[in-house]
Structure 1
Amino acid sequence: MNATRAAIDHVVIGAATLEEGAAFVEALLGVAPGAGGAHPGAGTHNRLLGLGQGCYLEVIAPDPAQPEPALPRLFGLDDPAVRRSLRKEPGLIAWVARTSGLDAVLTRLGQDRAGAMRAMSRGSLSWKLADPPAAAGFGGLLPGLIEWGQPGPPGEIPGHGCALLAMEAEHPEPAALAAALEERGVREVLGLGPGPRPVLSLRMRRADGGEAVLRSP
């Protein structure tokens, strides 16, 4: 059974601090991401940069103003290996696909494959998000899945000319990864090829019109 079709919602840059993450993006794309906000109870905060066509870049980091959350921070930010990597340099750690059928996907795939659903909100925005566990496999190349509540996803986020031009992945078993992406309705949005280890790669237009490539660690 095919999944409900989904689209890229955002890509995720993890950082030890929000300031380090913003500086990393500014060096890469020529413009700093704008204000985002805190995720109450989740232990994180973010900054955002539009990438065109309803897609955006999120810089996310632990929020020192919040107590330790009851659940692990999203996108593996509490994983010791991820924390060590991000202390050296911010990096591409995840991507998230937007769907209107999150409950159906979670029912079909199960929590062990799709992750547990979290209900989150900030101001007038509300959303449900499932972040796939590391045990789901594929080295972090599977997307988190997000479903926005009313009034819907954020409006156009300023990008100052930046855009996501292509997103590709390498994996030792690209056919198996393709099948897992198809189950989530996102096979068409990610170019796939063979490689010795899992790698996610973004090709983006910079604010000055040039191009930048960012690969996961």
Structure 2
Amino acid sequence: MKTPVAVLLSGSGSNLQAMIDKVQAGVIEADIRLVLSNRADAFGLTRAAKRGIPTAVVEHGAYPCREAFDAALLAAIAKSGARVVVLAGFMRILGPEIVSAFAGRMLNIHPALLPSFPGVHGQPDAARHGVKISGCTVHFVDEKMDHGPIVIQAAVPALADDDGKALGARILALEHRIYPQAVHWLCTGRLHVRGRHVHLDPADVPPADMAGAGPCLVNPPLEQGF
């Protein structure tokens, strides 16, 4: 049986689209039960609706405090039956109640190689710093922003004339590959957290074809279909 998943987002939802495509291709063992946003104008809601996925809006400004907002999020997720929560550009910090409720079952993606350059400006911060390698990180969510145990990272070259937009586009292409992979691993029970280390159960799966991806390093390696 496929694992029921809720996806939380605040914007365009390109990572959501990558997941939807892999789910509908039969690559990810997940059933996206809900796409939820704190913004009614988030284009990710349109992406979901086009594929017949239920959507919900829980506007943070409608609640007097973060605790009340989190309670509304939890209620919406519980109603969907989701067992896994995926943050795909959800631009709100979640409180301890919701993080605890989905401990070990909530993933986030960050457009930098954590623990370097956390926060909402990961790509431009890395470009301004003059790094030579940048990338993206999928991690479990804990009580601190961009802090939880790391599942998978992808590294790409950072060029001397890059700004945040140019570097971000190079990173985004790999976000669309590693995030669906991480969701699949979680939904199939292959991830195990021990301290800060995430262990991946092996599987007899051929490696992904990385032709056309450009210079990059992904670890753990992507599997066929991703």
Which structure has more helix as a fraction of its residues?
Answer: 2
With the length of structure 2 as denominator, give the TM-score of the two structures. 0.27
Which structure has more strand as a fraction of its residues?
Answer: 1
Give the number of the structure with larger relative contact order, counting CA–CA contacts within 8 Å between residues 6 or more apart.
1
With the length of structure 1 as denominator, give the TM-score of the two structures. 0.28
